[in-house]
Amino acid sequence: MLLHVERVTKRYPRPTGEKIALDDVSLTVDRGQILGIFGPSGSGKSTLLRVAAGLLSPDSGSVIYNGERLDSMSSTERSRFRRREIACVWSGALIPDGLSVVDHVAVPLLIDSRDHRAAERRAREALLACEVEHCSDLQMEALSDGERERASIARALATEPRLLLADGPASRLSLIEQEQIMVLLASLAEDAKVAVLVTDSNADALLRCDPVLYLNEGKFASSAQPVQLGRVYPFPARPAQSAADA
């Protein structure tokens, strides 16, 4: 397995005590797999993704990526590792004004390289692959929500990661755009063999994810038997033949 989150707990200090954002949570996701997590606002989805990305250290438990423990690396080592392996899409994240779309997508590439031409070529390729190439030379703020989401995914893809963490990428989109984004992410898993972890507050949006897990108050509703889309309506036990027949 590519990513293994093992019994992670994360607390945030609060004036009134502490808030347990993640309570002994485990999950694994493999290359070629797209795993969906849904749950209400405040259920711990974003915290889980930040922990999985190595951006946030858990209070206990571990994050194992391809056999290596992310949480025991030095921060420099971890940053470098993350840039090579993991990409994140934070929905509604602040995007600096004044960057063209192609520059925005090329930024992660330029951290480790000075070859601007190669970076631009890769950025344009990623934009084309995500069907927003026509926006390449616009300013980021000129894009619609759907285009911006695609550009964010293109930015994540430009570094050719093996793990993609997407926090609510479909959450502000129309139903059709939601479906299109999920089809793109599913194709990333299936065709690019990326391990994809995607969240949303609505289970219906997590089309094509398997399994779909329900996170509530920092816990999976049932860690042994994850709720799966298409099995959201559990079958009641088949009734025994009526008592009269017995």
**Site residues (CB under 8 A) for another protein?**
66, 84, 109, 112-113, 115, 118-119, 121, 125-126, 128-131, 133-134, 157, 159-162, 174-176, 187-188, 191-194
Rounded to the nearest whole angstrom, what is the least distance from the CB of residue 174 to another protein in the complex?
5
**Which residue type sits at 197?**
L
What SS3 state is found at 115? coil
* Closer by beta carbon to another protein, 44 or else 146: 146
Q: How far apart are CA 61 and CA 11, in angstroms?
A: 12
Rounded to the nearest whole angstrom, what is the least distance from the CB of residue 9 to another protein in the complex?
29
* Closer by beta carbon to another protein, 8 or else 158: 158
Rounded to the nearest whole angstrom, what is the least distance from the CB of residue 129 to another protein in the complex?
4
Rounded to the nearest whole angstrom, what is the least distance from the CB of residue 103 to another protein in the complex?
16
* Closer by beta carbon to another protein, 57 or else 187: 187
Rounded to the nearest whole angstrom, what is the least distance from the CB of residue 117 to another protein in the complex?
10
Beta bridge partners of 28: 4
Rounded to the nearest whole angstrom, what is the least distance from the CB of residue 212 to another protein in the complex?
20
From residue 32, alpha-carbon distances to 52, 99, 170, 184 in Å are: 17, 33, 20, 13
Could you give the residue ranges of the DSSP H alpha helices within the chain?
Answer: 45-52, 75-85, 101-110, 116-129, 145-158, 175-192
* Closer by beta carbon to another protein, 19 or else 172: 172
> Rounded to an integer, what is the distance from CA 165 to the centroid of its chain?
3
* Closer by beta carbon to another protein, 56 or else 106: 106
Q: How far apart are CA 89 and CA 201, in angstroms?
A: 16
At 4, list the tokens. 């293994």
Those residues with Cβ within 8 angstroms of residue 115's Cβ, 6 or more apart along the chain or in another chain: none
* Closer by beta carbon to another protein, 131 or else 141: 131
Rounded to the nearest whole angstrom, what is the least distance from the CB of residue 87 to another protein in the complex?
11
Q: What is the DSSP string of 169-185?
A: TTTTS-HHHHHHHHHHH
How many CB atoms are closer than 10 A to CB 171? 17
* Closer by beta carbon to another protein, 126 or else 212: 126
Beta bridge partners of 37: 199, 213
